[in-house]
Amino acid sequence: MTPAPTSGNHPLEGVRVVLLRGADHAVRTVGELHSRGAAVQLLPLIDFETPEDSALLEAALNELAGGAFSWLVATSSTTVRALKQQLARRGLALGSAVPSGTRIAAVGEATAGALFAEGLRADLVPDRTGHESSAVGLAAAFSGLAPKGRILLPQADIAADTLERLLSGQGWDLVQITAYRTVSYPADPSRRITASVGPGGPAEHDGTGASGPEAPDRCPELPELDPAGFWTAVAAGAIDAVVFTSPSTVRRLSERTTHSPAEGFRPDSPPS
């Protein structure tokens, strides 16, 4: 039985939560849950790798450094990490690879904070213009600008075409490029995105957790489940809540799940 939420400073006191992220990507959400009293375990389902062929990304980054783009658009902190890692292979820093004349857009404050930590300040963030932190919100923020110059849009391989389609519809000359691949956990160690975002930057308000200048980029040691352990805990009633962090985590968990509105979630094959 899920403990009833309490009032005061720890409304989630005693609530046992599984967060569907790995430690590299969970710090802000874990901090927020812990601050409210929840007991958190991790179940990493997705991970991130460099593109199978990075030639197109390399070419785009060369163009970016040469001033060929008026805008760089970042749609996640993982994109920032992927760009940083790609540039580091050539001994370059992300902060110095974006010319001063290139403006920067971020989908939300979390991404803007990641950019800031690498020495880049976002010129356009939907939150700051009265729009939601989403592809639609970012496109709406762009709609008030004259479509002059080219936009570089590095994204995940499985990213929806929403932003690309909306910006192109506004008349922008847009170059979409794959910056990283979303894969099942764990990623190939030789291709895994391991670059971290340095400390610093404005407080983040992305709805997934709180952070600020002092926020680390990795969680403290937390219990980590595998799928079999997760379902064993579900069957034992040892989990009160599951936090889905992206459409990818929903898809990955659903691959191992049979769902019925009456019965809730259960594994395809009960743990033995």
**Alpha carbon separation from 245 to 18, 97, 130, 139, 219 (Å, rounded):** 11, 30, 24, 22, 16
pLDDT at 24: 79
Within the chain, all domains assigned CATH 3.40.50.10090 are found at 48-184
Contact yes or no for 77/215 (Cβ under 8 A): no
DSSP, residue by residue, 150-208: EEEEEEETT--SHHHHHHHHTT-EEEEEEEEEEEESSPPTTTB----PPS-SSPPBSSS
pLDDT at 250 over 70: yes
Q: How far apart are CA 90 and CA 269, in angstroms?
A: 47
Secondary-structure class of domain 48-184 per CATH:
alpha beta
pLDDT digits (tens, 9 = 90+) for 38-87: 999 999 999 999 999 999 999 999 999 999 999 999 999 999 999 999 99
pLDDT at 19: 96
> Taking residues 168-173, what's their average pLDDT?
98
Q: Which amino acid is at 197?
A: V
